[in-house]
Each structure stands twice: as structure tokens, then as C-alpha cells.
Structure 1
Amino acid sequence: MGYFVAVESHVNIYVEDVNPGSEKTILFIHGWPANHKLFEYQFDVLPAMGYRCIGIDLRGFGNSDKPLHDYSYDRLSDDVRAVIDALNLKNFTLAGHSVGGAISIRYMARHNGHGVSKLVLMAAAAPSFTQRPSFPYGLPKEAISKLIEDTYNNRPKMLQEFGDMFFFQNVTEPFSDWFFQLGLQAAGYSTAAVLESLRDESLFADLGKIRVPTLIFQGIHDQIVLPQLAVAINEGIPNSKLVWLESSGHGLFWEQRDTINEEMSQFIG
């Protein structure tokens, strides 16, 4: 079932809630530039295995409201907290992909892991999505600035080119169009604003504040979140396990969906 949760007086977040009667809950935070439908191939399987799967559309994306401002990691993690409190979620697993992983990490640090018993990170854009003097493993900042410029000048072309980098495995034209349409559901300005957060923010200080068991997935062919980032996350989070996916790029949730679904179910129990 789908419904909206007010996170501010003027901002409502869309929530998709499948199998709400189950006590085993997973809250999914999607990556840029998509929405909760990114996890279709988890929602197809995990609820039938007894899990309650909740997906939210981040502000500015999917069916959620699209305010003009406020797309920092702090604000986005506060939205996650508002949804958690509204649904009275406890002892649940938080799962984030790409920037959704970054937001999940910020949530764990900023809100002291409120309600979370386990954490799953899929190609998380952390501890820094971009290169820094002491961290040479991200993408060049200039590349993200170019994406922002392209978003404002020709967003459909930018989304198409980004989609071409997203998957390591060959995808059909209908599948590529499905992914492309997810990006179009966002506002152009929110698409650019989250890119600014990806470019400018970092999570080095957040990693050590995570105190729950953490499962990290990383595709070895990822051209967007480079594999070295997963190594840094694994080293920075105590009690974390890194699973390498040999046949995946950034779209690991689809490219090796069976492995991810099985590993998640074993991890969560």
C-alpha cells in the first residue's frame, strides 16, 4: 500500500509499504536519480519470504513533494527519521543504495541509529563520492559539476548517458527505458541539488559512529561508486562485512539480485 508521511509542514514523503503485518522490517533508501521503484527486484521476492519492505521516495523524487531547497544529507536523513517515527518502526534493517547509502550512514550518525538493528549498504556513495586531497578514490569534482550543468541544460540526455554507465551487464531497451523514466519523475532542481550534496559532503566522521552489524555490497565493475569506497567503508565501520559482486556495476540490486536477496535474508534472519 502507498501513503504519504508529513516530514515538515509543507513537505510530504511518499511511502510504499508491502507486507505491513510482518515484524521483520526493511526500510529501503534509493539512490540518485531514481525512487523507491529501484528496489522492484527486492520487493518482488523479500515480502514473500516474510519481510515487510518499506520504500520511500526522497524529497524531490518519485511521488514525494519537491521543495525548491533543502537537499543536504542532514535534511534527507531527518526526513528518514520522520518516516521512522511516524510508522513507529523499531528493530528494523535500514538498506540504502548509492546516495541512499550515504543518507543511511548520516542517519546512523546523526540520529544515533534510532530503531535500526542492522544496516545494509549497496554501492554506498561514501565516505566521499568525490576525490579529496586525502582521499583520491572518488570521482573528480569537475565531473559532478558537469553533471549538474547537464541537468540544467539537457536533463534527458544526461539521464540517458548516466544510465549507460549504470549497469555492467547488458540491458534490454525496455529495461533501459524503465530506468530512464525513474529519473524523469524527479524535479530538475532536486536532481541537481542532490548532486551538489554528493559533490560537496563527506561522511568520514560518521562511519565510526555506526554500532550495528553492517552488510556492504559492492560491484567490482562499478564506474560510479568506485570499489575503493567500499573498502574504506568496510575499514571504517566496526562489525561490517563486505561482499564483492563479480558480475555487477552500479546496478547491483538488479544485476545480482538473487545474491543480494539471499545474502540479505541470511544477514537479517
Structure 2
Amino acid sequence: MTAFRPMARRGLLVGAATAGLGGPVLAQGITPTLNALAAKANSGTVGVISGGADGTYVRIAADLAAVLDDPDGLRVLPILGKGSLQNIADILVLRGVDIGIVQSDVLAYARREKLLPGLDSLIQYVAKLYDEEVHVLARQEIAGIRDLAGKPVNVDVRGSGTAMTASLVFDALGIAVDARHDPQDSALERLRRGEIAALVYVAGKPARLFGGIPAESGLKLLPVPAGPALLQTYLPAEFRPADYPRLVPEGGAVETIAVGAVMAVYAWPAATERHRKVARFVEAFTANSPPSCNRRGIRNGARWTWPPRSRAGPASLQPQPRRRAGPVPSWNASASRSVAPQPHGGRSPPMPSIIAKDGTRIFYKDWGSGPPVVFSHGWPLNSDAWDEQMMAVASQGFRAIAHDRRGHGRSDQGWAGHDMDEYADDLASLIETLALQDVSLVGHSTGGGEITRYAGRHGTGRIGRMVLLGAVPPQMVKSETNPDGLPMQVFDAIRAGVMADRSQFYQDLSGPFYGANRPGAKVSQGLRDAFWLMGMQAGLKPAFDCIKAFSETDFTADLKRIDKPVLVVHGDDDQIVPIDRAGRASAKLLRHAELKVYEGAPHGLASTHKDRFNADLLAFLRS
């Protein structure tokens, strides 16, 4: 065998030379094979530009490759990057770069600096991966972040994510610092020696950079107040002693903000090869997100090790105390407009949706751009009920978003989880997934209860204003605490009607819903048919359970917690949710309520009085 190998090599060399001199048979045999291999390899390869060799982003890209690589279709090629801003530029212009891992505030920075023309329409976010906290480490003599004005503050090297975020944060706070651009390890030594007043570092807590700081270092973490200016872009966060036992006193906490790490893509036109490759990646990413993490990368505040040891399942996932992460959507709203996956193997492309905390898929539609407005529909309808309002606000410079409540419309129709707490949690997942801030929430009927419970359960930090339209709060059913409510027999009759013949029941219900049973009413048959159609798209079990949710839930405490402006709109001829027990009662419990009563208007006034309501809605959104 030893003597044979040199001969074999010489034979190959001679054959190759012969082919080069005019061996057409051999050349024709090799070339098509190489071309086929090249075509197959390139058609399934996506380049993911990440971060530096020691950073978190490149480890994420490597994990993505380990999990998603498929010899028969997809290959993920991790690429070292030079910061979020450069990554965005590379996605736009660099061949071979299909996806980038960037900080979520990079678009705000590029927009402010006018660095990349047409950015908003060219870059779309696919998924949020996790959050990184903003650390401001300072010397003890610095009392607060505003004391850094005019002082030397290190913000990492130019072009880094930290430098970008620091610029945005200090600008939003109106603090002019003397920015320095040293590597962070060098800056920490300079801070210890008193050569600079502070350093800013964006990293997931606990940051390894601060691991060796002794208790008597004379350094501390400064609070970064999460005021309205910062909450337009960032999330509220905090540091606790468990994160930094030498920097945060026992029992205390340090307020700060967090910025999301997201995957971004170029908005390739549909039916192009690059579009298909990105779509294939997103499809694989969604399918392979760990089920035990509900496709969020976290559970109970722990970050889960990814990838698992095998593709068979998540049995090897190991929790590690780490930062939180946002839910991973099946496909981001904005991305779905331009980069939605194409059919594969005869399957329809996935609809835009997010994955709720229990794995339920929630469909949503996302129209326009601008300040976000989220609509929550009534029972037994779906997001299509809001189309006329969405068209109105999206045409006037707002971003209109509406989802199908779980069990309704195009969302998953599971057996359990059809209660107001789950509805509110699903809304929270939608808002967090789309990274919405200063959002206007508009809820009709049951949807009014949903947004009210969201505010009470998840706080009002992301809310700018709210609209309650014919909404069910404070409580519909009569009880010891609600003696003016409707008797339980009313809702038992609704349940009986749904179970006996829901199709006929929905047809009959459309009459009082739109006031079609009133003398002189002008309600088209088409409108009533649309109500029936949407009702029939809801699952029977979800629709049945929702009756208990909208009738028996007590929203009194939630209403009292709302500290944002609320427009309460109600028709005084509402036969479904009577105004005295709902709109008027809610307005009395809210701190900042404006009550508008539509004389003679029914429950479905968003359709019967759409011109008036749309005008009132737009005026309130602009106020």
C-alpha cells in the first residue's frame, strides 16, 4: 500500500494535466459536478455577522450554526464583526452578509446621525435574543449621573455598541460628558487611578469585566433613571446584590436601563434568492428554538445553554443565572412585510405571529410606521374587526398593530388558558417582542378588559395612553362587591346559546351588537355577516371560556393602578355592555379619564359610527 500511494498521486497529477491540455472527457466530468456542489452550497448558506472574537455575539452566531446547520439545506456561516453600527452597514452593502446581530438602538443612532439613507425601510428585525444592561461605574465622589457633566467618561472604542448607546443615553438626558474611547480593561485601570470619573459598559449582568473589583475599590454603580426620554428606546432594569455583591449594598438595588440584542436582516424583495435564504433561516430558527424555553431562550429568569447536545430534543438544556430575554417571534411584524418566508414543499408561508409564554402562537397584523397603536378586539371577533381603525391611524403616520386573541381567528386554539390573566400576558409578549414603547392601547369590549388587566398586571411603563371603547370593566356580573351588575343568568344564557347552536347564536347576536334591532337602524347585512364569520373563526372551547373571562373578572384594582390618560368611549344605547355599569363606572375609577358618550350608539359603534370614532381616536392619539 505504501508504494501504491505515490503512484496514485502521480496518476492524478498526470490526469489533471492532460485535462488542462485538452482532455475534454475528464474536464466535462468534473466541471458539472463542481458547479452543482457550488450551487447547492451557496443556495443554502447564510452569513451571520456578529461581534469580536471574545464577545457574546460571536458565541451566539456559533450556537446558531451548531443548532441550525442541516447538510441537506441550511448552513450558517458565523462572521466576526466590528460593532452594531458596522454590522448594519455590512448587512446593507457587503456581499455574503445576510443577517446581523446588533443592539436594538442602532437604528435610532444611525437615524439621528443621518449615517445610512433609507435605513428604516431597508433593515428589519427578525427576533430579539436577550437584553444587555447599561453599566455606569463611577468613583465614590460622583453622587449621580448628572455629576458626570463635563467630566472624562470612557465609553469604549469608537464604533462600539457601548459608545453608540452612551451617546444616545447622555444625549437623551441632556448630559455633555468628555467622552474617552479606550478599551474597557484599560479604562477600568484608569478609573481606579482617578484619571477618569466613570466608564460606561453595555453588557449582560453580571459582566465579567467587573468580576475582580474588590469591595473597598472606591467604585460604585450609578443609577440610570428610566425616564420617558429613555423609555422610548430602552427597557427599565436594575442591578441587585446577587449580580454585583461588591458594588450593590445588601438589600439594595441600582436602577438602570437595558438594550436588546436583536437579529436584523436586509428587506430583500420577495421571490429573490437572498429572500429565500433568509426565510429558510428564520423558519429553521423558529422551529429549533428550545420548546422548554417556549422559544424565548429563558425560563424563570434563567438563560438556557444553547445548543442542546442533539437535535432530538432539549433534554440537555442547563439553566444558568443570567439576564432575561424577549420572546422569539415566528416572524417579526416588519420583517413579514418584506422578507416573509415563501412556501416550501407545498406548505403555506407562516403568518406573522409571536409565541406566548406557554408556547401558544398569537397571530397579529402590523400596518404603517410611526408611534405604535395596539388594538385588542371584542368577543367573539378577531383583529379584522379593527381594520377600519387600523387603516385610519396607519394612514395618518401611526403604526397600527392588532392581534387575534388566543383561541380566536388565526391564533392557536388550545384547550386551556382562556382567562383574562393569560390574555394580558399574551399582550405583554406581543409588546415585548415588537419592542414597543410609549404604546397607545385601544380595547373594545373584552379587549378593553384585556388592556386594563395588562396595565394592572404588567405596569404602565410601556404605555403612553389608553382607549376603552364599550369596554367590560369594572365588572359585568352581579356580585356582593358589584350589586349593580348583570345577573349570572344573562351569561348562562349566552353560554347555552353558544353550546346549542353557535352559528345561529352569532347571527342573532349581531342584531343588538350593531343596534340593527332598533327602529330606523341602517345596518347592512354584510356587516352582520362579517360578525358571524369572525365569530365562527373562534374555537368553541375558547369562545365558551371567554364568556367567564369577560363577565366575571373584576378590573377595579387594575383601573385604579392606571396612571396614564384614558379616553373612555361608550354608546348610551349599548345593549351588550350597558354604559352605566361599564363606561361611566370605569371613568369614575380612573385617575385621568375623559368620557365621551355617543348618543344612541350601539356596542359596535366602531363600525356604525366609524367616522366619528376614528376622528376622536386620532385626536386623542395626537394629544
TM-score for both structures, normalised by structure 2: 0.42
Residue 537 of structure 2 aligns with an amino acid whose one-letter code is Q
Range 124-133 or range 58-67, more displaced: 124-133
Partner of 1:7: 356
In structure 2, the residue matched to 1:44 is 391
Q: CA deviation at 1:9?
A: 4.8
Distance 1:23 1:46 in 2: 10
Q: Which residue of 2 aligns with 1:196?
A: 548
| 1:179 pairs with one of 517, 521, 531 | 531
Greater RCO between the two (CA within 8 Å, min separation 6)?
1
Query: Which contiguous aligned blocks of 4+ residues in structure 1 show a shift greater than 6 angstroms?
Result: none
Counterpart check, 1:82 vs 2:429: yes
Matched, 1:164 2:516: no
SS at match of 2:421: helix
Distance between the aligned counterparts of 2:525 and 2:555, measured in 1? 36
Q: For residues 506 and 482 of structure 2, what CA distance do their matches in structure 1 show?
A: 27
For 2:593, the aligned partner's letter is: S
Find 2:473's aligned residue among 111, 121, 126. Answer: 126
SS of the residue corresponding to residue 453 of structure 2 reads helix
Aligned residues: 267
The offset of 1:139, in angstroms, is: 2.6
CA distance in 1, matches of 2:483, 2:583: 14
Q: Distance in 2 between matches of 1:215 and 1:124?
A: 11
Rg larger in structure: 2
Identity of aligned residues (%): 27
Structure-1 residue corresponding to 2:618: 265
Matches of 1:78 and 1:9, distance apart in 2: 10
CA offset digits 1:17-63 (Å, max 9, x no partner) = 001xx221110000000000111221232211111110000000010
Partner residue of 2:592?
Answer: 239
| Range that drifts further, 147-156 or 183-192 | 147-156
Alignment of 1:72-111 (within 5 A): 72-111=419-458
Residue by residue over 1:133-169, the C-alpha shift from the partner in whole angstroms, topping out at 9 and shown as x without a partner, is 3434433211111211221221112111211110124
Does the 8 Å contact 2:523/2:608 carry over to 1? Answer: no
Answer with 216-225 or 162-171: which moved more: 162-171
Any idea what SS the aligned residue of 2:363 has? strand
Q: Does 1:34 align with 2:381?
A: yes
Are 1:249 and 2:249 counterparts? no
| 1:56-104 C-alpha deviation (Å, 9 max, x unpaired) | 0000001000110111111110000000010000011000000100111
1:18 match = 367
Q: Report the Cα distance in structure 2 between the residues aligned to 1:117 and 1:109, rounded to whole angstroms.
A: 14
Cα offset for 1:114? Answer: 3.5
Residue 59 of structure 1 corresponds to: 406
Residue 115, structure 1, aligned to residue 462, structure 2: yes
CA contact (8 A) 2:472 2:551 kept: no
How far apart, CA to CA, are the structure 1 residues paired with 2:413 and 2:452? 23
Residues 30, 100 of structure 1: 8 Å contact kept: yes
Aligned-CA RMSD value: 1.3
Per-residue deviation at 1:179? Answer: 1.2
Q: What CA distance in whole angstroms lies between the structure 1 residues aligned with 2:483 and 2:616?
A: 30
Contact 1:122 1:218 in 2 (8 A): yes
Is structure 2 residue 563 aligned with structure 1 residue 211?
yes
Question: Secondary structure, in 3 states, of the residue corresponding to 1:227?
Answer: coil
2:389 partner amino acid: Q
2:443 partner letter: G
Taking the aligned partners of 1:146 and 1:80, their CA distance within structure 2 comes to 29
**Secondary structure at 2:410's aligned position in 1?**
coil
Q: Report the alpha carbon displacement of residue 198 of structure 1 after superposing the two structures with TM.
A: 2.0
2:574 aligned partner = 222
SS in 2 for 1:217: strand
Contact 2:449 2:473 in 1 (8 A): yes
Q: Bigger CA drift: 77-86 or 154-163?
A: 154-163
Deviation digits for residues 202-237 of structure 1 (CA, Å, limit 9, x no counterpart): 111111100000001000100111011111100000
Q: CA deviation at 1:7?
A: 0.6
Q: Which moved more, 1:171-180 or 1:85-94?
A: 171-180
Amino acid at match of 2:558: D
**SS of 2:528 mapped into structure 1:** helix
Q: What secondary structure does 1:242 align onto?
A: strand
CA distance in 2 between counterparts of 1:186 and 1:125 reads 19
**In structure 2, C-alpha distance between the alignment counterparts of 1:112 and 1:215, rounded to whole Å:** 18
How far, CA to CA, are the matches of 2:507 and 2:426 in structure 1?
A: 29
Instruction: List runs of 5+ in structure 1 lacking aligned partners.
Output: none
**Quick one: distance in 1 between partners of 2:504 and 2:413?**
22
- Which residue identity does 1:6 align to in structure 2? I
The answer to whether the 8 A contact 1:138-1:225 is kept is no
TM-score where L is the length of structure 1? 0.95
State the distance in 1 between where 2:532 and 2:400 align: 24
Q: CA, structure 1 residues 136+157, in 2 after alignment: closer, same or farther (shift >3 Å)? A: farther
- Find the counterpart in structure 1 of residue 114 from structure 2: none
